[in-house]
Chains A and B, each alone.
Chain A
Amino acid sequence: MKIPRLLQAVVVIAGVYFGFLIVFDYLLGAVIPKSLLTMYMFFVAAGVFMVFTYDEEKTRELVAPVKALVEDPAKRGARNLVFTLIPLLIGYSVYSQLQPGFEAPVELRTIHPAPPSTAKIYGKRVNLLSLENPFRKVEKEDPEKFAALVSDGAAVYIKNCQYCHGDKLDGKGPYAEGLNPTPLNFQDIGTIAQLQESYLFWRITTGGPGLPKEAAPWISSMPVWQNFLSEEEIWKVILFLYDYTGHRPRSWEH
């Protein structure tokens, strides 16, 4: 028996939808965000529509059941049912979306807010566009000394940072569970690997209170480390972050 094309289209769209849920939520154990799934499904449906309608004959076949439902006098009962159910479903959907819930509203937080071009750090005005890690050049000049600097940075990190960012730098320190937003995972390719060292220096030294306006809500619990650590210690920690994760800071030339 040949499956009607309209049913084929519906089955394909539903299959992709449930496929996403099964793969992400159950097999991979990492839920697919509802907002993203909605966007995905819109374009999956558009793709299905395109494949099912590029040909005139096949399009006629696709819309034939809809046309029959609207025009065929014999389908009066089904027509009345569908034309009653559709507005009801839309109404229910609107009602569900507008009904106030107990869950806190979704916050769209900018994880990497743009840095200012200059910032006041350690009492002096620093140009973040040209700022460089003073120890980075040691990496080539004297690898042994560089290893010692990284080791110093590791010690500073373990004493101060690992409580939140974790001893594996994966954002899962002992305190991480109690924080919102959760501490950054430096192992993630989307964090420090995308940034210049000057950016890290700015974020570490000025912490949560130094976040710019666009980074609202300003609820980061990152301390203002320039009040607790020396400038050299912070640069060494930055060396350690990149060394341990295997990432390289963003740069424009070798």
Chain B
Amino acid sequence: MIIIDKIAGIYSLKSNRNKLVPWVVIVLLALVLLANDAHQNTIEAAQQVAEAIEDQAAAARTHVPAPKLTAADYPTVAGVNGRLVVWVVAQLHLWFAAFVLAVPIFVFIIEAIGMRTRDKRYDDMAYEFIKVSITAYSLTAILGGLLLFSLILFYPHLFTYLSTIFSETMLYYALLFFAESAVLYLYYYGWNWLQGGFRKWVHLTLGLMLNAVGTTLMLLANAWLTFMMSPAGVDPAGVFSGDSWAAIHNFLWNPINIHRFVANIAYGGSIVGAYAAFKFLTARNQQEKAHYDWMGYNANFIAICALLPLPFAGYYLAAEIYAYSQQMGITLMGGIFAWLFIIQAVLIGTLFLSANYYLWCGMGRSDGAKRYTKYIKYIAIVLVGSFLVWFTPHTLVLTNSELKSLGGPHHSILGPLGIMPAKNTAVNIMIIFTFLSFLFYRRSNKIATVSWEKTGNICQVALFSSGIANILFLGIYHGYFTNTVYKVAASIPQVVTTLVVIVGSLVLDSFIYRKSRDVGPLHWGRIPERAQYALFLLAVAFTWLMGLMGYIRSGIRQHWHVVDIMRDASAQAFTPTLGYAANVVSVAALLFLAMVIFVFWIAQVSSSKTLPAGYWKE
């Protein structure tokens, strides 16, 4: 039966191809005629013929339903596990892509700051960041090519089906990739050439173009993967309507776009932070240490800035997944992947803790920090307390004696902490206190000179207290005493409250510290070495987190290539155990980190010069 199906499949493919070939030839002939014939009527007639042929060819192309595959439709290549190869390669590609898309975003901002302040240190730092991303860019392209080959080799029918729907976007993707490379090389190699006056503006414009092209590339690739999760522009049999925009603009496209855009910046910041930490630890003198300490601080600042809104973007994505499909939503957070979400919660908490720890350690750079360090223990208590709530699971792992003692799996105290309102409340408070750490760091080397400093501080305390009270009220009242519509909706005023506290406090603080005096010079480089390991931890936790969450996002499709439309009939269609998945992601993360260390090393090698005595003719 399988053989018959296979033959039938091949025949249907071949017959479609046979139908298309003459039309393509005629279209080409028509085009040649168009080019050579000067007579207007002939051109119009030929155009009409060509259009008619094109319409027919398009119709033939678009009316192919998604193939119904069997295990025999998946080629076995040298006994290699196809899913594993595609999984690991896709993940490696994604890590590098996230990094190389993010770096130009903040390089552009840092370059602009340098232009505005005329502080060359910013320009040098921006250049060093982009230098690191250049090698990573080549690796991204290599891994992208490898992913393409892997898909064609191991999942040919899936690739064919997707390429019939996204043929146009794939073409634009390839063209944009060339544009991205061209602009990137101009931007990087022209850095020293395009300095000063109008030239610098040209260079900054190149940076903007680089970001525009890079972001468009990401949006296109996002359309392909979200189509597989929430297909649009096709009928239930998978027949494409021909409306490419409908397929691109599917239900989950924008939630993924927003989440990835923000997460990429945080991730890019963490990786260059790790680079700065690496350089700090290998620095040969105090000057180098000071430079890379400053670089690490800026990278951590970028990572934190993007990390703060990230939980909201993630929550929005998860809520939209749930809204699109109850099945996918429950699989994601209440079903089989729920325990990976606990690991996710632990890793996100680790990110917050290490980012805070780095800030606290960094207070040692200022002689005036002692005024604020006494508050650190209280910040730590709130952070750890919120973190414990953040990762308390909904389904508790109970021994039989615990089950008996509780009278069932329901825990009257911990149970309510396992659902989203508690998590949202906890993460908002974690964000506010992380911001408080930053505020103290910012104040540590300043002395306010305004007469109303005390009143300003009282206002700050009132702003934080009322914000926290509002977050708690929204979380507890709407989370537990109203229905789910309000429960989910309450997360928005919670986020708004957090943002109001952050922005309001920053504005207030900037007025309090207007015309402030410095306690003394900041001692860049005066930071414990273990703070650098906090930066490493940030990069490692981010990498692992992205791998696990990426697997979950893809895994919630379960046995579908394209949900409810194209079934995965391969021998590897099953959802692997959590342990296996975590192992694959961990090995991939180690591979990636090894490659990143190579990138760091090569960036170092490229700037070192050795002069072998007597080797060259004098």
A and B: interacting chains: yes
- Name the B residues within 8 Å of A111 (CB-CB): 334, 394-395, 409
Stretch at the interface among A146-154, A155-163, A231-239, A243-251: A243-251
Which bracket fits the contact residues of B? 35 or more
Interface residues of B in 125-183 (CB under 8 A from A): none
Question: Is B407 a contact of A47 with CB atoms below 8 Å?
Answer: no
Interchain nearest-CB distance for A139 vs B (Å): 12
Cα of A185 to Cα of B406 in the assembled complex, Å: 13
Determine, out of A24-32, A72-80, A87-95, the stretch whose residues face the partner at the interface: A24-32
How far apart sit A35 and B530, CA to CA, in the bound complex (Å)? 30
Bound together, the chains give a CA A112 to CA B391 distance in angstroms of 18
Given contacts A50-B360, A103-B401, A171-B410, contact A35 B396 (CB under 8 A): yes
Whole-angstrom distance from the CB of B335 to the nearest CB of chain A?
Answer: 4
B564 at the interface (CB under 8 A from A): yes
Q: Which residue of B lies closest to A45 (CB)?
A: B384
Q: How far is it, in angstroms, between the C-alpha of A248 and the C-alpha of B488 when the chains are bound?
A: 13
> Chain A 87-124, CB within 8 Å of chain B: the 1/0 string?
00000000000000001101011111111110000000
A182 beta carbon closer than 8 Å to chain B: yes
CA distance A56 to B405 in the complex (A): 46
CA distance A84 to B439 in the complex (A): 47
B356 proximity list for chain A (CB < 8 A): 50
Chain B residues positioned under 8 Å from A171 (CB to CB): 408, 410
Q: Do B416 and A55 touch (CB < 8 A)?
A: no
Chain A residues with Cβ below 8 Å from B398 are 33, 35, 106
| Chain B residue contacts of A247, Cβ below 8 A | 483
Cα–Cα distance between A249 and B388 once the two chains are bound (Å): 28
B102 within 8 A of A: no
The residues of A that contact B364 with a CB separation of less than 8 Å are 54-56
Interface string of B398-429 (1 = CB under 8 A from A): 11111101111111111110110000000000
Residue of A36, A44, A116 ringed by the most chain B CB atoms within 10 A: A36
Collect the chain A residues with CB atoms within 8 Å of residue B395's CB: 108-111
Contact (Cβ within 8 A) A31 B406:
yes
A248 touches which of B336, B397, B414, B483 (Cβ 8 Å):
B483
Q: Which residues of A contact B408 (CB under 8 A)?
A: 171, 176, 181-182, 185
Knowing A33-B402, A54-B361, A56-B364, the reply to whether A198 touches B326 (Cβ < 8 A) is yes
Task: Give the size of the chain A interface in residues (CB under 8 angstroms).
Answer: 61
Of B14-22, B189-197, B373-381, the one touching chain A: B373-381
Cβ contact within 8 Å between A36 and B393 = yes
How distant is the Cα of A36 from the Cα of B397 in the complex, in angstroms? 8
Indicate if the CB atoms of A36 and B396 lie closer than 8 Å: yes
A115 to B331, CA, bound (A): 8
Q: How far is the CA of A103 from the CA of B335 in the complex (A)?
A: 26
> Once the chains bind, are A54 and B357 in contact (CB under 8 Å)?
yes
In the complex formed, the residue of B with least CB distance to A254 is B485
Q: Name the residue on B nearest A172 (C-beta).
A: B407
In the assembled complex, the CB of B159 is this many whole angstroms from the nearest CB of chain A, namely 25
Nearest B residue to A44 via CB reads B384
Q: Are B419 and A194 in contact (CB under 8 A)?
A: yes
A185–B415 CA distance with the chains assembled, in angstroms: 11
Which of chain A's residues have a CB closer than 8 A to the CB of B330?
112-115, 199
Instruction: Specify which of A28, A34, A185, A250 is in contact with B402 (CB 8 Å cutoff).
Output: A34
B252 at the interface (CB under 8 A from A): no
Does chain A have a CB within 8 A of B457?
no
Q: Is B122 an interface residue (CB 8 A)?
A: no
Instruction: Determine the residue in chain B with the shortest Cβ distance to A196.
Output: B326
Whether B525 is near chain A, meaning CB under 8 Å from some CB there, is: no
12 contacts between A and B (CB under 8 A): A28-B413, A34-B399, A36-B392, A39-B391, A44-B388, A50-B353, A54-B361, A108-B395, A114-B331, A188-B410, A190-B419, A250-B484
* Extra 9 A-B pairs, beta carbons < 8 Å, given A43-B384, A55-B364: A31-B402, A40-B388, A43-B387, A46-B353, A54-B376, A113-B335, A117-B325, A117-B327, A185-B410
